[in-house]
Amino acid sequence: MIYLTISPSQAEPFQKQMQHHEWEMVSQEGGQSQFIGWAYVMHWQKQVDDKMAKVWLHYSDNQGQLEAYLEMNPAAKPLIDSVVAEITDE
């Protein structure tokens, strides 16, 4: 797996871009974390040639400590790099 840290402020724009680029939402889970905060994980996939590209967005807020990162398989990396570049330019 490949990991990429993004700014927590990019989490929502990233979600919108995934929908815009027609990635299929596979799952979305969220809830309380560590008794003091909350977190969610969103999973998307998209067929790329003969491979399934998969990416997960991890987001957490623990007493104001925000964290966001992407986890992806190698097939997703070039596509996700372009999505992240789009939200960075906004």
Two tokens at 56?
Answer: 């997960």
C-alpha distances in angstroms, 53 versus 46, 76, 90?
5, 4, 25
Domain count, the chain: 1
Query: What radius of gyration do the chain's Cα atoms show?
Result: 13
Q: 11 pairs with which residues across the strands?
A: none
Query: CATH no. for residue 28?
Result: 3.30.160
pLDDT at 89: 60
Tens-of-pLDDT digits for all 90 residues of the chain? 999 999 999 999 999 999 999 999 999 988 876 667 888 999 999 999 999 999 999 999 988 899 999 999 999 999 999 999 999 765
Domain of residue 37 covers: 2-89
Cα angle 36-57-63, degrees, rounded to a multiple of 5: 15
